[in-house]
Amino acid sequence: MSAVRRKMSWGRVFGTLLMYLIGILWVLPVLWMVSTSLKPESMITQAVPRWIPEVFTLSNYQGVLERASLFKWLLNSVIVAVGATVGVLIIDSMAGYAFARVNFPGRDVLFMMVMATLMVPAQVTMIPLFFMLNEASLLNTHLALILPRLGVAIGVFMLRQFFLSLPQELEEAAAIDGASRYRVFAQLALPLAKPALSALAIVTFVWAWNDFMWPLIAISTQDMYTLPVGLSTLAGYYGREYGIQMAGAVIASLPVFLVFLVFQRQFIQGIALTGLKG
Amino acid sequence: MKRLFVVALLLVLVALPAQSVSAQIVVNFWNNFSGGDGEFMSAMVQKFNETHPDIRVEVSGVTWDDYYNRLLTSIAGGIGPDVAIMHTTHVPAYANQGMLLPLDAELASRNIPVDDYVESAWTGLNYQGKQYGIPLDVHPWVMYYNKDILGELGLLNSAGEFEPPTSPEEFRALIDTIHAAGHYPLSVEYVGNSWRGWYAFLKQAGGDVFVGNEVTINSPEALETLTFWASIPLAYPELVIGYDESVAIFAQGDAALHFNGVWITGYFEQIDGLNFGVVPWPTLFDSPAGWANSHAFVVPVQRGGIDKAKMDAVLTFVNWMTENSYMWALAGHIPTRQSVLESPEFKALPYRPDYAAQAETVVYLPQHPNILEIETALNEEVQAVTAGVKTPEEALKTLEQIIGGLVR
Amino acid sequence: MKSFRFSKRTSDAIAGYVLLLPFLIVLVTVVLYPLIQGLYMSFHNWGIFGDPVYVGLDNYRQLWTDSNFRSSLWHTLYFVLLTTPPLVILGLLLAAGLNYPFRGRTAVRGMIFFPYLLTVSIVGIVWRWMLQRNYGLVNYYLGKLGAAPVGWLAEARTAMPSIALATIWWTVGFNLVVFLAALQDIPEELYEAARIDGAGPVKSFLRITVPLVRPTTMFVIIMQVIASFQVFGQVFVMTGGGPYGSTRTVVQYLYEQGFRYFRMGYASAIAYVLFFIMFVLTLIQWRIMGRRGQ
């Protein structure tokens, strides 16, 4: 018995060390990105790479902030991501609740149709959307970037699942007391849905924030770029200037990193919830 | 730069009160110049703004990769710039889609000195009988050479200049000689747009990609020239590098020869200790020809149209820019105004008058709305051949199929 | 049998519609209408301005013989095959590794997951820099190990694998988290029993863990395949489809046809073919998930 246990603990030690190694390995690209951003341009392409810069400089950060509208891009990303998240939370919770609790004709058919849209890859609707928004003079606006995200049905599915899992007694009691369906939704069901809502919020925010192809298509002026698209233009503009590219990347990752440090648990729970329910 | 901006700003502020009658017209100008080119262009625009207080040209630079995508989206939305830079090769596609304004009437009514422009550059922007742009420059591919390395090998003439070879065998022998002597013979972006070099030789040998609706690329001339073009990278695989690296190697003084566009002249001039010369694209086959493209000013179609005052401002701006394209020549490009080409200041510039003469014999890709896709196909197939992944026969066959479908 | 109901059945039904309406309106506007419009466009030659020209099934016929389209499909399939097994297997293994408590577990989990939150351009920029042939970090360490420098993104042979490598680093965190949640549902007693029977960690992993997470594994695989088929961002930023088109994927081909060459009708046809492929894959997923009683 003790022999087995000893074998176990050596295995455990090895396993733990392995996990540490993997964790470090995973973080290396990010560290390299930061390290490169702090080196003067002339020292970046060296035959022998150094992790700790021999000479520290902030000139790359200066350069990228002077030449690129990084803060504007950041603001655009924030507006779009927040707008999309708020919009999704509102309309998806309403729809999810309706599907879960309310009996109305055509409910099941409508739900099937909504679920079917999950199969539609985003690219199929991009070109027609481009023309539609163009007609409505909405191209190159924040709305153009927010609207398509509101049509993603996964939130409706998640919230319906969640509401279905709630016990009906509370709602029944409220109904008997004469509360309208709307009140029950807003004042009873919704507050109880916090876990599902926060999971949906996190996932929606991250997906909206990182959206690349649609902003690439829908935005035409530099000042309206979101961060992902803006950063990719940085790579083309300063093809040989890796320091500036890395500085831009660091600045762009900083907000995400800080939020992640604080909300790691929530992020992970949110992703897991989507994964399990999906 | 900053001081210049402040001075310009002060000038404008001083000039403004004097303009009690006419308001300043703002002209939105898009271009895709970056790095050295970008700085020269900005300087020119600044000078224009200083000397024309009633017009303010605002520049928006978009990176090379993204430029045409942005232009497309904004023009499609009717919110395009007032005037934009466009490559001549792109004009047919955009004009075909109705995205550019034909300028014939506008030019005629304003006495723009059309005859002063180099003819091939001007007519290159004429598509289906309408004039869609005004050329700013011609930028051909030329051959740069390192005087120190070639001098060491005894390959320079008595005037210390290099006389390029005149046949493919001579050229290959030259490369072999330089390589045997331990030098990097030729830096060119084989992982990149090297198809331009081959295209020049194809035209020299009398071939072409397509004529009218007929695809002519799978021809004996094409096979001969492509086989020649690929023979060097196949013999010396270490030469297969990308654009940035090809420039860097020559700039560091390590490469004997370098194929590139004239736009890099300004960059090489700034490098201390780089002793280089430039010759026009070598004629190795029957008749002289070198690849070139050119930048032009175009006027996109806008929602609601452009009013006369704005068009006046735009054409004043364009006319001034080409008139003063001596400043643009400093970046290395060839101006398109005869008056500039014949001016003493231009003639006094190093290198540029040498290859400016080439402006007569440069060849552009034939005009076609699908030319961009054809260019991509040429680019990819030639890269595959120089990387040793495809034989010239296979590549030409693929090109015949693809281009045939595009020009039908 | 008290069947409670709100004021009146009809007004409750109305409430249902009202609650549903905002989402439904958005869905019709940004999904359903464009979906149908896209199909309509695919039957036309459709430029930016000017009138579209009806061409029937010509676009689809042309796609059938389009060698560039076919090669983009191959490239995409290659990418899917390069990324799916590692992402699924690695996700599960890492989750198993993180499934027992040890000091710093949360930190390690965070380190592996964090890249998922980065935007695709950052991933592309950083990896492009690391995979540079001459000054890249990876080739430097390869050299130290005695290996020859690899061409990575500059050579057709290694370009797609390079992109796959970056993608794996970027997104394995998502699978890790999903698997971790699934693993935590497995009762500890099963492992106890196995330990008592003398099973080592490998055996209990293969005999207990793998079979029990099968539904999640199926889900992850299908999600992975579907997402990989739509790959665009990383390829666009890291190689732009090169060298010489060898990494061009279906979505990039769609993007180029539509937004570089103005062939909106043709691009719509490509989109629909992609849709068809996704449709088939999703049906397979639902069939498998349904069978597992999920």
* Residue B92 pLDDT greater than 90, yes or no: yes
What pLDDT score does A109 carry? 93
Cα angle at B261 between B284 and B135, to 5 degrees?
110
Closest partner CB to C243 (pick from B65, B76, B383)? B383
Identify residue C13 by its one-letter amino acid code: A
Beta bridge partners of B296: B86, B135
Query: What pLDDT band is residue B338 in, cutting at 50, 70 and 90?
Result: very high
Closest partner CB to A233 (pick from B60, B66, B73)? B66
Q: Which residues does chain C have within 8 Å of residue B99's beta carbon, measured at their own beta carbons? A: 48-49
> Checking phi first, is residue A140 left (phi over 0); if not, alpha (psi -120 to 50) or beta?
left
Specify whether C83 is located in the same domain as C43: no
Residue-wise pLDDT tens digits, B60-83: 766 656 788 888 888 888 888 999
Q: How far apart are the C-alpha atoms of A96 and A162, rounded to whole Å? A: 9
Closest partner CB to A249 (pick from C125, C236, C267)? C125
Identify residue C52 by its one-letter amino acid code: P
Q: Give domain status of residue C263, yes or no.
A: yes
Tell which A residues from 32 to 91 touch B, by Cβ distance under 8 Å. Answer: none
Number of domains in chain B: 2
Specify whether B162 is located in the same domain as B59: no
| pLDDT mean over B337-348 | 92
Q: Is C260 on the interface with B (CB under 8 A)?
A: yes
C97–A94 CB contact, under 8 Å: no
Specify whether B286 is located in the same domain as B249: yes
Q: Which residues does chain A have within 8 Å of residue B249's beta carbon, measured at their own beta carbons? A: none
B190's tokens: 């084989």
ipTM (interface pTM): 0.86
Q: Which residues does chain B have within 8 Å of residue C236's beta carbon, measured at their own beta carbons? A: none
Specify whether C218 is located in the same domain as C268: yes
Q: Is C156 helix (H, G, I), strand (E, B) or coil?
A: helix
Specify whether B265 is located in the same domain as B157: yes
Q: Which chains have at least 3 CB atom pairs separated by less than 8 Å from chain C?
A: A, B
Closest partner CB to B63 (pick from A130, A140, A237)? A237
Q: Which residues does chain C have within 8 Å of residue A131's beta carbon, measured at their own beta carbons? A: 37, 264
Query: What pLDDT band is residue C85 in, cutting at 50, 70 and 90?
Result: very high
Q: How close, in Å, is residue A47 to chain C by CA atoms? A: 6
Specify whether C94 is located in the same domain as C31: no
Specify whether C157 is located in the same domain as C258: yes
A134–B76 CB contact, under 8 Å: yes
Q: Contact A71/A223 with Cβ under 8 angstroms?
A: no
| pLDDT mean over B89-103 | 93
What pLDDT score does B187 carry? 95
Specify whether C104 is located in the same domain as C198: yes
Q: How far apart are the C-alpha atoms of B174 and B171, rounded to whole Å? A: 5
Specify whether B115 is located in the same domain as B145: no
C156–B99 CB contact, under 8 Å: no
Q: Contact B62/B345 with Cβ under 8 angstroms?
A: no
CATH topology of domain A62-277: MetI-like fold (1.10.3720)
What pLDDT score does A47 carry? 72
A221–B70 CB contact, under 8 Å: yes
Specify whether B27 is located in the same domain as B129: yes
Q: What is the largest CA-CA distance in chain C?
A: 80
Query: What pLDDT band is residue B2 in, cutting at 50, 70 and 90?
Result: low
A228–C130 CB contact, under 8 Å: no
A123–C274 CB contact, under 8 Å: yes
C244–B93 CB contact, under 8 Å: no
Q: Give domain status of residue C5, yes or no.
A: no
Query: What pLDDT band is residue B7 in, cutting at 50, 70 and 90?
Result: low
Q: How far apart are the C-alpha atoms of C209 and C205, rounded to whole Å? A: 5
* Residue B203 pLDDT greater than 80, yes or no: yes
Q: Which domain holds residue C21?
A: 13-54
Specify whether C251 is located in the same domain as C283: yes
Q: Contact C248/C72 with Cβ under 8 angstroms?
A: yes
Specify whether B301 is located in the same domain as B234: no
Q: What is the CA radius of gyration of chain B?
A: 22
Residue-wise pLDDT tens digits, B26-60: 999 999 887 678 888 989 999 999 999 999 999 87
Specify whether C47 is located in the same domain as C73: no
Q: Which residues, 6+ apart, have CB-to-CB distance to B38 below 8 Å?
A: B61
Q: Scanning every residue of chain C, which has its alpha carbon at the shortest distance from the alpha carbon of B94?
A: C262
Q: Give domain status of residue C59, yes or no.
A: no
How far is the CA of B350 from the CAs of A13, B250, B276, in angstroms? 71, 18, 11
Phi/psi at A153 (nearest 5 deg)?
-85, -5
Q: Give domain status of residue C8, yes or no.
A: no
A119–C94 CB contact, under 8 Å: no
Specify whether B162 is located in the same domain as B252: yes
Q: How far apart are the C-alpha atoms of B196 and B375, rounded to whole Å? A: 10
Q: How far apart are the C-alpha atoms of B269 and B266, rounded to whole Å? A: 5
Residue-wise pLDDT tens digits, B216-248: 999 999 999 999 999 999 999 889 888 878 888
* Residue A3 pLDDT greater than 60, yes or no: no
Specify whether C44 is located in the same domain as C94: no
B69–C259 CB contact, under 8 Å: yes
What pLDDT score does A26 carry? 96
Looking up residue C80, the CATH number of its domain turns out to be 1.10.3720.10
Burial class (CB in 10 A: 0-12, 13-18, 19+), A208: buried
Specify whether C44 is located in the same domain as C70: no
Specify the pTM. Answer: 0.86
Tell me: cis bond preceding C243? Omega within 30 of 0 counts: yes
Residue-wise pLDDT tens digits, C14-63: 889 999 999 999 999 999 999 999 999 999 999 888 789 999 999 999 99
Specify whether C93 is located in the same domain as C150: yes
Q: Which domain holds residue B212?
A: 140-292+367-407
Most A-contacting residue of C8, C11, C20 (CB-CB within 10 A), to test interface: C20
Looking up residue B244, the CATH number of its domain turns out to be 3.40.190.10
Query: What pLDDT band is residue C256 in, cutting at 50, 70 and 90?
Result: very high
Q: Contact A84/A143 with Cβ under 8 angstroms?
A: no
Beta bridge partners of C35: none
C112–A23 CB contact, under 8 Å: yes
Nearest to A96 by CA among A178, A169, A165: A165
Residue-wise pLDDT tens digits, C117-159: 999 989 998 998 899 877 789 998 998 999 888 888 888 899 9
Q: Give domain status of residue C19, yes or no.
A: yes
Specify whether C76 is located in the same domain as C36: no
Q: Which residues does chain B have within 8 Å of residue C67's beta carbon, measured at their own beta carbons? A: 398, 401-402
| Alpha-helical runs (H) found in B135-236 | 147-152, 168-180, 195-204, 220-235
Specify whether B147 is located in the same domain as B276: yes
Specify whether B219 is located in the same domain as B190: yes
Element (H, E) at A2: helix A2-37
A233–B34 CB contact, under 8 Å: no
Handedness of CA B163, B164, B167, B169 (dihedral sign): positive
Beta-carbon pairs below 8 A across chains B and C: 57
Specify whether B152 is located in the same domain as B277: yes
Q: Which residues does chain B have within 8 Å of residue A220's beta carbon, measured at their own beta carbons? A: 70-71, 73-74, 77, 79
C66's tokens: 């389009």
Q: Is A136 on the interface with C (CB under 8 A)?
A: no
Closest partner CB to B65 (pick from A221, A222, A236)? A236
What pLDDT score does B21 carry? 44
Q: Is A237 on the interface with B (CB under 8 A)?
A: yes
Beta bridge partners of B257: B145, B186
Domain extents in chain A: 2-57, 62-277
Handedness of CA C177, C238, A234, B82 (dihedral sign): negative
Specify whether C279 is located in the same domain as C152: yes
Q: Give domain status of residue C186, yes or no.
A: yes
Specify whether B333 is located in the same domain as B373: no
* Residue A237 pLDDT greater than 70, yes or no: no
Specify whether B131 is located in the same domain as B149: no
Number of domains in chain C: 2
Query: What pLDDT band is residue B148 in, cutting at 50, 70 and 90?
Result: very high
